[in-house]
Structures are given as C-alpha cells and as structure tokens.
Amino acid sequence: MHLRETELALGLIDNTIVILVAMKPEAMPIVEALGMELGGRLHPCYPIEHYSSVKRPHIHLVINGVCPRFGVDNVASQPATIAAFLCIERLHPSILLNAGTAGGFQSAGSSIGDVYLSYPKVYFHDRRIPIPGFQEFGLGSYPCPDVRPIAKALGVKTGSVSTGNSLSSITEDLEIMKGYEGRAKDMEAAAIAWVAEQHHVPFFAIKAITDLVDTDKPVQEAFLENLATASAQLALKTVEVVEYLESHGIPALDGTERMEPKCEAIDPRI
C-alpha cells in the first residue's frame, strides 16, 4: 500500500472538506462551480453519489441520490444519516459541511435567497419526547464551530438551523423553533450533526432560503418557485466558504482555527 493510500485509510490527510447535499438541483451548481466529476457511489446498496476534482483532491461532494422506488431525491433525515456515516468512513473529512436549501422566517428578517451558516447550534424540532432526559435528547442541540468570522467575511447570516422530516410545520414545531430562535428550517442538518458528533468531526450547515415559514404562501409553492434561485446563491456562497476554509483553516468549536482532524480512525490493519 502506498503512503497516501495508508494515510487515507487511517484518516490522516489534513484539510479534507466534504460537502453533503440532499438534492441534485441543490448540488449540481456547486459541482459545476468546483469543476467536479462523478466518481461513483459510496456504497453499492445506496444511490449516494460521490463527486471530486482532480485539481482540488481534498474537496469532495456527496449527494444523497435518487430513491429507486419513488424516483425522487432522497431527502430527510434517514438518507442524510447514512450518507453522513459513509462520508466519514470513506472520505475521512477534517470538516463536514451540509449545503442545502431551507425555510426562513420573515419575522426574523429572512428573505428569499438569504444564506445562513449554522451557529450556535443545530436542533431537531419534531422529535417531541416529553420525558426527562429524552426531551433534551430529542432536541439534540448539536454545537457548531464559531462561524461568525466566516459569515462576516462572506456577507451571510448566522443562526440556529432546525431539522424536521416534514416540509410544512405544525404549530408545535413553530413554538419549539421559536424557543431556540431557529432561523433556517431544513430536513437534514441535525441528522448529519449527530453523526459528525459521534465521530468528533467538526460540522456546520450552509442554508439558502427558498420559502418563508411564517407567511400565508404555501411553503411547497414557494419552494418550487425559488429552488433554482436559492440553489444558485447556495453554490456561490458554498464555494466562498470552501475558499475561506482553504486559506484560513478549519474552525474549532471554541472559535480557533485548526487543520488536523480530531477523529481517530480505526487502523484497518488491526
């Protein structure tokens, strides 16, 4: 085994950035902007696609893929959890990013096309378990690195991202999100954050707003109308985030910058 292959197997390559995206319409503008090509699937049982670039081999992008049964993008937390696990096991990221679209809140000053970086935390809003201990577990409250310097440099917003498995929201969801000042409502980030936390891999989300949750317009109509516009803005800012990380290093939870991975991978020779 060559040295680089050994390092990859042991998770020792520094500054590996992996971007995980749920939907192909969200992902392809990023793939094109970074000059990436499809490399195949991460696992034969799942339609999870892996893209990479010869010019920037330390950057990877993974898409959840299309459900073979229903023929739609594999959205929501179950595909995201499996994809995040495979990203970490196969690609050994120094940092894991989740780029995607989300709903915003007009009451919090959001507009269509706004981009948020997740900070200070990522939550679940639809895991309602009103039992001591389990209630906190249900919310998750996964901390993110201090991305405020990145947001300031790139002219984007920060806020907590809130995850649920439905596009629409019931009143109880909205009250829970209000409790921790959720600013972007998505269907994947907290699931990915949970996996990243288990592996001690830094994680944050990049979310472009397609719809406003607290207005009268049906979210599904706004989502479909604004998906292309928001995805273009998402691609622009995701590339800028990658370039920032390349030049400034990877932020730790305490706001310092670090390049080496925290996770100790299992030696495949054992």
**Residues with active-site annotation:** 26, 211
Q: How far apart are the first and last CA of the chain?
A: 15
Query: Are the CB atoms for 234 and 99 separated by under 8 Å?
Result: yes
Q: Dihedrals φ, ψ of 237, to 5°?
A: -75, -30
Cα separation, 127 vs 106, in Å, equals 24
Give strand pairing partners of 208.
101, 115
Cα separation, 15 vs 249, in Å, equals 8
Query: Are the CB atoms for 36 and 28 separated by under 8 Å?
Result: no
Q: Dihedrals φ, ψ of 267, to 5°?
A: -70, 115
